[in-house]
Amino acid sequence: MRAHFQFWPKRLPHSITPPATSLWDNLESSARRYPDKAALVFFGTVLTYAKLLQKAERLAQCLRGLGVEKGDRVVLCMQNCPQLVIAHFAILRANAVVVPVNPMNRAEELKHYITDPDARVAITTADIAPELVRASDALDAQDRLAHLVVSHFADAFDANVVGDDAPPAAWGPWLLTRHALPVLQGGQVLAWTDAMHTVGEPPVLSVGPADLAILPYTSGTTGLPKGCMHPHSSIMHNAVASCMWGNGSAENVVLVVVPMFHITGMVSIMHTSIRAGATMVLMPRWDRDLAGRLISGRKVTHWTNIPTMIIDLMASPHFASYDLSSLVYIGGGGAAMPQAVAQRLLEQFGLRYVEGYGLTETAAPSHSNPPDDPKQQCLGIPFMGTDARVIDPDTLQEMPVGAAGEIIMHGPEVFNGYWKRPDATAAAFIEIDGKRFFRSGDLGRVDEDGYFFLTDRLKRMINASGFKVWPAEVEALMYRHPAIQEACIISTPDSYRGESVKAVVVLRSTHKDLVTEQGIVDWCRENMAVYKVPRVVQFVEALPKSGAGKVMWRTLQEAEGK
């Protein structure tokens, strides 16, 4: 028996038998049990479970009318709002596959999320719609979107809301402006309000546990982002297990500020809450004082976050006026929680910050700290039904206690493989003791109690406030700048974000006097998601290269001091 089982919550089994149903059944069941209970709260406007179900069914019927059939991939590109939850479940109800896309992506990046999954329909909000249109219009005719459903944030709340539930004044133009619908070349743009007036019945629900449900994309050391094929069963497992692990019930009130396009927000928060019949209080983006007011006023009980949010909230001049006494669970991942902050949470509020670990490939948690026995700055123990080990990445032999190696995991939450990438799928898995293990690419160690700790990464990746930035992807985008001859992306220390992105750039001789470092930064802001944008650009005459001509990024990284 593995050492960590001695710290296993005594109330819980080591593994579970998830329902042999689709993810849609979780919403339908909760709506039947709690029809008048608040499912979503958005700037003071409450959407009950019965209404959430009704709206999702209407949109599913709309999707059917747009030609969406079983197994079709539908792009969903939104920040947190009720429409995201409605659309997510509507796609599942239409027997289709959700392709969640980061709304911070720009047109150049969005092209891949249309062409790779062969998506013909996308659902978005009006502030993002022009980028999706630009991406689609730039493609060949056969690859473009055929339909785009566009919502306004104000479709979901009272624009005149005041008091603690009101959005920050600075968000007004973004949330309240009603943009004209864009024109989609060769396709149709449909207003959300019109989609919500669709009549008729949705298609017969024909998907089950083994059918593809979610296709989230993850980047890596080389090439474009890869789609991770998750069937209903892998998401269902982690939704049910997360609910049990965190004492989930219909009485939970969950603050949702972690983005639900991301695997953690999608599975550990949205699907887990819907499964439990809990109430989700939605924030479309981070604002420390809005968070403080919502926790206080809405009596939030559960809050999954990234550590920088806690640090920022505690730094608010209004922090002393916020009432955090309703919180019974606080935790997260993506970046290590500083020990001093975790200790303050414990001493001042009696809250143990519960850290976890997981990847897009593992439907978020593959590890989590036991809520009653968490260790600080620790990934936790293998999640329910999960066999996780640390191996030598070369010999594939299991490492002894305390020795660093590659973290691998086998369990019901592990994805089926990469979309259209059998080569990458084959490289990501190994067989040990008759089990198929996923190779995380992260280096870690296990202590004598069976708790896992992250030590380094085999994969080249930058962690900026919990956002994963893959240098190869940023470099590929930067090479499209006419002045850039070569670029190498490394991390640079950041006192707040932990790490930030730095670009070391060689300019073409014809452009050396025509661009500045800030000009490169400005161009990047126009062409890539803001968290990928280099905070620092350094011009050099040449990049260090190996005898084979490969850029020696480690040399630049070591010189940067990380």
Taking residues 502-520, report their average pLDDT.
Answer: 92
Arithmetic mean of pLDDT, 531-544? 93
Inter-CA distances, 466 with 106, 141, 477, Å: 20, 37, 21
Q: What pLDDT is stored for residue 10 in this prediction?
A: 92
Query: Which amino acid belongs to residue 111?
Result: K
pLDDT at 154 > cutoff 70: yes
Instruction: Using only the alpha carbons of the chain, give its radius of gyration.
Output: 23
Q: What is the band of 547 on the pLDDT scale with cuts at 50, 70, 90?
A: low
Mean pLDDT of 164-185: 94
pLDDT at residue 540, as a whole number: 93
pLDDT surpassing 80 at residue 336: no
* Residue 438 vs residue 309, higher pLDDT: 438
For residue 520, give both structure tokens.
């490169």
Q: Which tens digits make up the pLDDT trace of 77-93?
A: 999 999 999 999 999 99
Q: How confident is the model at residue 453 (pLDDT cuts 50, 70, 90)?
A: very high
pLDDT(71) > 70: yes
User: What is the H or E stretch that residue 382 is in?
Assistant: strand 381-382
The stretch 514-536 carries a mean pLDDT of: 94
| pLDDT confidence of residue 372 | 85
Q: How far apart are CA 78 and CA 92, in angstroms?
A: 17
Residues 6+ apart with CB under 8 A from 41: 47, 165, 279, 280, 281, 282, 298
Question: Picking from 182-191, 284-293, 346-355, which range would have the lowest pLDDT averaged per residue?
Answer: 346-355
Q: Which segments of the chain belong to CATH 3.30.300.30?
A: 462-560
Structure tokens at 446: 């296990």
CATH of 462-560, one of 3.30.300.30, 3.40.50.1100, 3.40.47.10, 3.40.50.1580: 3.30.300.30
Separation of alpha carbons 487 and 300, rounded Å: 45
Query: Could you tell me the pLDDT band of residue 505, with boundaries at 50, 70 and 90?
Result: very high
The pLDDT-based confidence of 476 (bands split at 50, 70, 90) is confident
Q: What is the mean pLDDT of the chain?
A: 93
pLDDT in tens, 289-326: 999 999 999 999 999 998 888 988 998 999 999 999 99
Q: How far apart are CA 174 and CA 381, in angstroms?
A: 41
Phi, psi of 167 (to 5 degrees): -70, 160
Q: For position 546, what pLDDT does the model report?
A: 66
Mean per-residue pLDDT for 15-34? 98
Q: What is the pLDDT of residue 56?
A: 98
Confidence of residue 155 (pLDDT cuts 50, 70, 90): very high
Spatial separation of the C-alpha atoms in residues 535 and 469, rounded to whole Å: 13
pLDDT computed for residue 512 by the predictor? 87
pLDDT digits (tens, 9 = 90+) for 206-222: 999 999 999 999 977 66
Tell me the residue ranges of DSSP E strands in 419-497: 429-432, 435-446, 452-457, 462-464, 467-469, 484-494
Long-range interactions of 346-350: CB distance < 8 A, separation 24+:
349/324, 349/325
pTM assigned to the model: 0.89
Q: What is the dihedral of CA 15, 20, 23, 28, to 10 degrees?
A: -120
Residue 550 binned pLDDT confidence (cut-offs 50, 70, 90): low
- The mean per-residue pLDDT over the stretch 468-494 comes to 88
Cite the residue boundaries of each domain of the chain with CATH code 3.40.50.12780: 3-349
Share of the chain above pLDDT 90, in %: 78
Residue 513's pLDDT is what?
87
Record the tokens describing residue 409, joined without a space: 């995991």
Distance (Å, whole) CA 97 – CA 152: 23
Which candidate, 147, 82, 93, 83, places its Cα nearest to that of 121? 147
Length of the chain: 562
For strand 364-368 and strand 387-391, is the pairing parallel, antiparallel, or unpaired?
Answer: unpaired
| Residue 418 scores a pLDDT above 80 | yes
Q: What is the 3-state secondary structure (H, E, C) of 444-456?
A: EEECCCCCEEEEE
Which residue has better confidence, 466 or 301? 301
Instruction: Give pLDDT, residue 376.
Output: 84
Amino acid at 24: W
pLDDT at 315: 86
| Per-residue pLDDT at 549 | 62
pLDDT, tens digit (0-9, with 9 covering 90-100), for 176-195 = 989 899 999 999 999 999 99
β-strand partners of 457: 442
Predicted confidence band of residue 473 (pLDDT cuts 50, 70, 90):
confident
Residues paired with residue 47 on neighbouring β-strands, in sequence order: 40
Does residue 562 surpass a pLDDT of 60?
Answer: no
Of the options 3.40.50.12280, 3.40.50.12780, 3.90.1260.10, 3.30.210.10, the CATH number for the domain spanning 3-349: 3.40.50.12780
Q: Which two tokens stand for residue 180?
A: 């004209």
**Candidate from 14-28, 106-120, 479-493 with smallest mean pLDDT:** 479-493
Give me the mean pLDDT over the 155-166 stretch.
95
